[in-house]
Structures are given as C-alpha cells and as structure tokens.
Amino acid sequence: MNNSELWQLSKKVYREIVFQSVFSFRTGGLLPQSPKDVGKNIESIAKNVEFNVVLNKVMMAFFIGFMSGFTFFSGVLFKVDRELAAVCSVSTLLISILFIIVFMGIQVTTSFVSSRVTDILILLPFSRKDVSKILTMCFIRIFDIPLIAAVLIIPVAYGLSYGSISGALMVLWSVIITEVFALTISIALALSFYNKAVRGGGGSKLGILTRFFYMAIWIVPMFLMYMIFGFTTHIAEFVKSIAQSIPYALAPLYPFSLGFLASLATFQTYNPNITILSIASSLIYFVLAVYSSKWLMEKIVGIGLGSTAAGARVIAGKVFIKIEEPWLGIVKKDLRIASRSPSYFSMLIMPILQTIILTFSLSSVLRSTNLNQSTIPIEYIPFSLLIFPAISLLMILILPPMLLSIENVAYSYTGSLPLKRKTVIIAKILLTSIIYFISSLTMILLIAVMRSHLLTVFIVLNGILTLSAIASIIIETIFVSKILIQRLSSGNIYFKMIYYVLVAILFFLITMMPLIVYGMIVLFTQSGLLGMASLIIVSTIEFSIALLLLTKVK
C-alpha cells in the first residue's frame, strides 16, 4: 500500500480514536428508550464529536496566534530592555506551546494509546510496517492544526516585531524542538495514565512522580499566562532582575537558553559567558529532542504492535476487603476513578491551581494597596477582596456535575445496588467541600506568606464566604442530581463542558448574593458595619435553606 492510501486510511482510524476518546467510559443502561432515538443519537453524537475536535484545534491555533502576537508586540511596546524582552517572550511562548499541546492533546492521546483500533488493524491484511505507519499518521492528525500553526505563526510574528530574519529562524528551530518535547511528554503521560488504568493498584513512585510532573505542566504555563496577560511589565522586571543577578542560572535552562539564543541571533550583542552557556545547552536540548523523537517513534510503533497492553498482570495481595460507610465508599471510588482518568483528574486539581494563580495575581494588586490610605473608600475594600475567593469558587462549582457524572460509569451494574440518592448527594457534596477547603486554605497560606498584614482580613472573608459557598455546593448538587444527571456523559468531560459551565455560573449566583447585598447596603447606607451584618445574615439564610433542602432529599 502506498503512503497516500495509508494517509486516507489513517483518517478513518483517527476518527474512531476521537470517538473512543469521548466514550472511553461506556455508560451502559442509559441509552434513550426508543430504537429510533438510539440510532439518531449515536450518529449526531459522532458528528458532534468531530465538530468539537476540529473546533478545539482551531481554537488552539487561534490562541497560539493571539498569544504570540500579543507577547511579541507588547514586548516591543513596553519600554523594557529589548534584548531582555526577546528572551522573556520567546521563553514564555515556548513553555506555553508545550503546555497547550500537552494539555489539549492528553485526552485523545490517552485513547490513542489505549485504543483497541490496533487490534482491528492487525487483523486486516496490512503488514506490521503499514500498521505502524497508519498509527504514526494518526498521531500526527491528532495535533496537525496546532503544530502547523505554531511553526508558522510564532517565527513570523517574531520576525515582524523584532525585524530579524536570523532571529526568526532561531525561533523556528526552538519551536520545533519544543513541539518534539510536547509530543513526547503527551505520549509519556498518556502511557502513564493508561498503565495506571490497566496495571492499576497503588501508585508506583514513578507514577506519582509523573503525576506531579503533570501538575507542574499545569501550574507553570498558567502562571506565565497570567503574567503575560495581566502584568507584562512585571514579568519583564522579574526576569530582568533575575537575569541581572543570576543570568548564568537561567541560560542553561529550558526554555530560557532557547530564548537567549533567539535574542543573540537578533541583536548580536554578545556576553561571552551567557552565549557559550546558552549555545551549549541549546545543543543539548537539540540532542535530547532527537532522542525523544526516536523514543516517540518507538512507542508509536510499539502501540501498533499492541505491546502496551502486554504484561498488565499485577501480583495480587491477600483477599480481604475494607468496608466503609456508604458515603465514604462512594468518595473512595470517585477518587480512584478520577485519579486514573486525565480529564477527571485535571478537573479535580484545577480549583486549587486556580486559587494559587489567583492569589499570586491578587498579591501583586495588593502590593499597591495600603488599607489605610487607598483611593477607594475603606468600606469597599472587603468587597473588592471578596471577589477573589468568590472567583476561585466558580471553578469549584464545576465539580458537582462532574462528580455526579461518575455515577453514570457502569450504571447498568451500579443501578442494581441499594444506593440512596441522598447518600450519593452527600458524598459528592463532601468531596466538593473538601476541595473547596483545600483551596481556601491554600489561599490563606499564600497570603500569610506574601501579604501577612492582610491575613486576618482574609481569614474573616473566607470564613464569611464559606457559608454561602457550601450552600451553593449543596443546592447545585441536589439540582443536578435531580434534573441533569442523565444528560451528563461520563468519560471525556470536556465534551459536555458547556453544561458544567452553565450550571456553575447559575449556582455561582447563590455565592454572589450576599456580596451583592453587601455592596448595595454599603452603597446606600455608607456603613461598612451594616454591610457586614447583612452579608452574614444573607449567607446564614442561604446556608439554612441548603440544609433544609438536603434533609428533604430522600
């Protein structure tokens, strides 16, 4: 078979993999109860899936374009050292690309790694070589648009804003290295999650390490993105201060060495030490990229030959099970399922990361805020600060529908268990609340470290907000379990993200209510004390209503 035929074929396989990525957990037992609807739905779901995937890719490409334009031109605009701006913006973009590709690709790569498609392909009259080729092509299809977009847009944007062809070429080279890294990481992560799912059991040290790495991949770029969009000058200052004090520390590090190299190629101002350091380390990264692309090919071919599924046996321990209270049983099960599914897992840790990023950005706002002599009236300060814990709650409110959707996993079996709706609801509320408390505590801890003079204010604010936060978690969970649960697909939650976001926004209003009342009271009476009192009263009422509703659940 020639390559163009294989390329055509790989499209079919790719589609199947995308489809599987959405149905990686089979729901079972919840199909609509009419034969006509069944056929129709599956078809429309399939179309919907494809559309969503293309949309995602186009959005990624658009985002890459927007980001590179913004970063490079703002670097020119702000009056910072141009050479340093080049280093910063190139480094930031590279790490962001790495993140975007890995993150957006993780779900599809996981089903790529675990797909049974290879089993089918092997049966058809293809040579093993062809199978491997098809899979490689498939893998490229997963990332096609964003990869091409990054390679085209970033160097061009750089060339335009800094007016240097040699610089642009250097950036092109760096982008390619970064893309290889990104693909390698995404396959490695997918394999790690897959192995976790198939080999199971307790996490090995390496497995835990990989997951920490995954989190790091989350934190770093989001942190950087916040800096790009909100505080471009801050970041430049920051890197400048580091670069001036310890340039030798940054130069050998990815992605800074590539950034330094681009800057060198553009401005040709040589600091001999940094030049040598960055060139030498860039070469090392290049070699690393070559090796990882080799590893990547090996893995892809390995998947083609079905080697990932082999050796999935685990030596069994003693036959003895621990029995918990039903709600704890559900919580444990949820945590186990979530930790083995990339999309659930990322959603679960998202609120905490969000809080960290938010607190950082908050703290740089607060640096200029002196509570006693600020321009805004003192009464409004708690109000403006309350926005921050409130926003981080918005992410938390995505959790109840997500956790409830886990109940749809294997419903055709679990439906036969004597499971009270109330128990399920309580379990989900507890798990969500735990995540909420962890993220609140994280915020308070960070504030204690960074802006200790605001610590008491923050503890009080978080404390006040907790009542209405828990109230909205309770009411939302009850609502979703009653009305929405059957619509939630299990598995790839990004697929039905819109439901989650809409629900979260709707119930976010409950959290906002006391704040709104507070704002109004302060506006009309000019009394911060009265405002505080009404805030406490409204949130207490909300909390009582939520508890009342909860006791009414059967």
Partner 1 sequence: MPNGTTAPPLFIQGLTVKYGSFVAVDNISFVVNPGEIYGLLGPNGAGKTSTLKTIIGLVQPASGRIEVFGKPISDEIAVKSMIGYVPEEVILMDSLTPREFLEFVASIRRLNADTVNTRLEKLVSAFQLREYFDTPIAALSKGNKQKVAIVAALMHEPRLLILDEPLIGLDAFSSKILKELLIFHASKGGAVIFSTHIMEVAERLCTRVGIINRGRMVGEGTVDGLRKLVKSAEGSLEEIFLKVTEQEAGVQEIVKALEA
- Interface contacts to partner 1, rule CB under 8 A: 25-26, 28-29, 33-37, 197-201, 309, 312-317, 319-326, 328-330, 332-333, 336-337, 340-341, 409-413, 415-420, 423
What value does the CA radius of gyration of the chain take, rounded to a whole number of Å? Answer: 26
Minimum separation from the CB atom of position 413 to ligand ATP (A): 16
Q: Which is nearer to partner 1, 94 or 337 (CB)?
A: 337
Assess contact for 133 and 6: CB atoms under 8 A: yes
Of the candidates 362, 329, 384, the one whose C-alpha atom is nearest the C-alpha of residue 515 is 384
Q: Which is nearer to partner 1, 25 or 508 (CB)?
A: 25
**Other C-beta atoms lying within 10 Å of the C-beta of residue 523:** 12
Task: Enter the tokens of residue 112.
Answer: 């790529």
Task: Enter the tokens of residue 182.
Answer: 């990104």
The binder of 524, among partner 1, ligand ATP, none, by C-beta within 5 to 8 A per type, is none
Q: Which is nearer to partner 1, 101 or 197 (CB)?
A: 197
Assess contact for 338 and 406: CB atoms under 8 A: yes
The binder of 330, among partner 1, ligand ATP, none, by C-beta within 5 to 8 A per type, is partner 1
Minimum separation from the CB atom of position 34 to ligand ATP (A): 6
The binder of 123, among partner 1, ligand ATP, none, by C-beta within 5 to 8 A per type, is none
Q: Which is nearer to partner 1, 5 or 37 (CB)?
A: 37
**Which residues, in sequence order, are CB contacts of 222 under 8 Å at separation 6+?**
99, 353, 357
Q: Which is nearer to partner 1, 23 or 458 (CB)?
A: 23
H-helix segments, 78-127: 82-114, 117-123
Q: Which is nearer to ligand ATP, 35 or 317 (CB)?
A: 35
Q: Which is nearer to partner 1, 314 or 537 (CB)?
A: 314
Q: How far apart are CA 438 and CA 309, in angstroms?
A: 36
Minimum separation from the CB atom of position 412 to ligand ATP (A): 10
The binder of 312, among partner 1, ligand ATP, none, by C-beta within 5 to 8 A per type, is partner 1
**Other C-beta atoms lying within 10 Å of the C-beta of residue 26:** 14
Minimum separation from the CB atom of position 551 to partner 1 (A): 17
- Cis amide bond preceding 255, omega within 30: yes
Assess contact for 90 and 255: CB atoms under 8 A: yes
Which helix (H) or strand (E) is 141 found in, with range?
helix 128-162
Residues near ligand ATP (CB under 6 A), total: 5
CA 211 to chain centre: 13
Q: Phi first, then psi: give them for residue 489, nearest 5 degrees.
A: -85, 145
CA dihedral sign, ordered 88, 89, 90, 91: positive
Burial class (CB in 10 A: 0-12, 13-18, 19+), 205: exposed
Q: Which is nearer to ligand ATP, 430 or 485 (CB)?
A: 485
3-state secondary structure of 131: helix
Minimum separation from the CB atom of position 419 to partner 1 (A): 5
Q: How far apart are CA 5 and CA 506, in angstroms?
A: 50
Minimum separation from the CB atom of position 43 to partner 1 (A): 17
- Within 100-139, the residues that bind ligand ATP by CB under 6 A are none
Of the candidates 404, 393, 455, 392, the one whose C-alpha atom is nearest the C-alpha of residue 431 is 404
Q: Which is nearer to ligand ATP, 31 or 483 (CB)?
A: 31
Q: Which is nearer to partner 1, 242 or 314 (CB)?
A: 314
Minimum separation from the CB atom of position 411 to ligand ATP (A): 13
H-helix segments, 379-491: 380-396, 399-406, 411-414, 421-450, 455-479
The tokens 């959005």 sit on which residue? Answer: 59
Q: How far apart are CA 69 and CA 141, in angstroms?
A: 25
Residues 408, 411, 417, 420, Cα dihedral to 10° = 30
Assess contact for 138 and 10: CB atoms under 8 A: yes
Minimum separation from the CB atom of position 291 to partner 1 (A): 31
Minimum separation from the CB atom of position 117 to partner 1 (A): 16
Q: Which is nearer to partner 1, 125 or 202 (CB)?
A: 202
Q: Which is nearer to partner 1, 331 or 522 (CB)?
A: 331
Assess contact for 98 and 185: CB atoms under 8 A: yes
Of the candidates 184, 222, 187, 497, the one whose C-alpha atom is nearest the C-alpha of residue 347 is 497
Minimum separation from the CB atom of position 25 to partner 1 (A): 7
Minimum separation from the CB atom of position 320 to partner 1 (A): 6
| Closest residue to ligand ATP, based on beta-carbon distance | 35
- Within 16-55, the residues that bind ligand ATP by CB under 6 A are 31, 33-35, 38
Minimum separation from the CB atom of position 123 to partner 1 (A): 18
Residues in the site for ligand ATP, rule: CB under 6 A? 31, 33-35, 38
